[in-house]
Amino acid sequence: MIIHHPILGPRDAQEFVYLGDASLIDRPDGMTAGVEAFHDYLYNRTNPAGEHQELWYHEQGDRSWLVVTRNTVTHEITKVELARDVARARGRTK
């Protein structure tokens, strides 16, 4: 698989480390969220067959975190964004 890095261009997926579903960006507030919400965040996954937004870390490159939109049935990658931009768009401040 080739991941089209927003800054570095096409890079082999071998250079990346995979973390999982990009919903991991949306961590509940540790001061207010209950145990159930954290359990759901940490352990449960939608795990779709089809389009999936996921976190890849460019460990062998510029060490940026990316949000890759990829089809889990065909492995086709349709969108690659910097995770930083995605997190800010979702209202995260850091």
Partner 1 sequence: MRYSGFRVIAEALTGHKGWKPVWRDPTPQADYDYIIIGGGGHGLATAYYLAKEFGQARIAVLEKGYLGGGNVGRNTTIIRSNYLLDGNEPFYEFSLKLWEGLEQDFNYNAMVSQRGIINLIHTDAQRDAATRRGNAMIMHGADARLLSREDVRQMYPWLNFDNARFPIKGALMQPRGGTVRHDAVAWGYARGADQRGVDLIQNCEVTGMRIENGRIKGVETTRGFIGAKKVGVAVAGSSSKVMAHAGMRLPIESHVLQAFVSEGLKPLINGVMTFGAGHFYVSQSDKGGLVFGGDIDGYNSYAQRGNLPVIEDVAEGGMALMPAIGRVRLLRSWGGIMDMSMDGSPIIDKTHVEGLYFNGGWCYGGFKATPASGWAFAHLLAKDEPHKTATAYRFNRFLKGRMIDEKGQGAQPNLH
Binding site for partner 1 (CB under 8 A): 1, 13-14, 18, 20-21, 35-36, 39-40, 42-49, 52, 54, 70, 72-75
Taking the least distance from each CB to partner 1, the nearer of 73 and 88 is 73
Q: Minimum distance from CB of 86 to partner 1 (Å)?
A: 18
Give the strand order in the sheet containing 51-57.
Answer: 17-21, 51-57, 65-71, 77-82
Taking the least distance from each CB to partner 1, the nearer of 7 and 17 is 17
Paired with 70 in beta bridges are 52, 77
Residues present in the chain in total: 94
Whose structure tokens read 């995260």? 92
Angle at 69 between CA 65 and CA 72, to 5 degrees: 120
Q: Minimum distance from CB of 16 to partner 1 (Å)?
A: 9
Q: Minimum distance from CB of 19 to partner 1 (Å)?
A: 8
